[in-house]
Amino acid sequence: MTAETETTQSTGSCCTPTGSCHDGATDVRIDQTDGITTVYQVEGMTCGHCEGSIAEEISGIAGVTSVAAVAATGLVTVTSKAPLAEDAVRAAVDEAGYELLGPAA
């Protein structure tokens, strides 16, 4: 199976505590298969660079097929082949420098 990766992210850090430097979502697709989709609430995203950092870390979890992070809402949508352990998602978000609040309500 071949993996296809698409990412949209800026180079270098552009995050500021006062606002966003990019609009929209960063979407990382590893392959185009259907799976289980879970939406998480993440605290601290302010821009496209933040979205890209989170998407990159979560996409490294085994079984993840796509990640879409939206700074404006703080929501991260993850599709995976099987259910993911929340601890694994939390560790990836922590590694990116943000806080996973849990599944979105």
CA distance 36 to 9: 25
| Residue 98 tokens, joined | 């943000």
pLDDT digits (tens, 9 = 90+) for 49-105: 999 999 999 999 999 999 999 999 999 999 999 999 999 999 999 999 999 999 998
Domain ranges of the chain: 25-103
C-alpha distances out from residue 39 to 18, 85, 90, Å: 25, 13, 13
Residue 9: which pLDDT band, with cuts at 50, 70 and 90?
A: very low
Supply the CATH classification number for the domain 25-103.
3.30.70.100
| Residue 60 tokens, joined | 């490294």
Packing angle of the helix pair 86-96, 48-59 (nearest 10 deg): 140
CA distance 74 to 26: 12
Q: Indicate yes or no: pTM above 0.85.
A: no
| Residue 89 tokens, joined | 């998602």
